[in-house]
Structure 1
Amino acid sequence: MLAVANDDVPLAISALRAQADSELDEAGRRSSSTVIDLEAEENTCPGCFGTIQQGVPRCPECGLRVG
């Protein structure tokens, strides 16, 4: 847990994101920012970056469960 003053929240969030980004490679940063929208016609798998069609519970390329 991290406690900061209300005025310092944006700076704290920025510092935490910068630290996390410095510990990930490009694929890790891309994966961690991937959002799955279950209502969209297609999504990008955060595991392998393959295409997942709407209504499919697992990525057809890597098998990651997304739904």
Structure 2
Amino acid sequence: MEWEVLRAFKVALGPPPVQAEALARHAGAARWAFNCALAVKVSAHQRGGRRPADSSLRGRGGEHDRAGADRV
């Protein structure tokens, strides 16, 4: 029997305030995009439809407008 050794490393980021703000904005935008796509998928599922194609999710906002993405 062959054993595999797994290693993990923990890294802590310490960005300056300007970079921390930029990281927070990027994370907020990614969270907004994920939640928007999830809402479209859940809505399609509840209607008994098929899973929406990835290409159909591009450029969609629906009730998730870009104004909400500014609140990170």
Normalized against structure 2, the TM-score is what? 0.30
**Greater strand share, structure number:** 1
The structure with the larger Rg is 2
| Higher-RCO chain (CA-CA 8 Å, sequence separation at least 6) | 2
**Greater helix share, structure number:** 2
Normalized against structure 1, the TM-score is what? 0.32
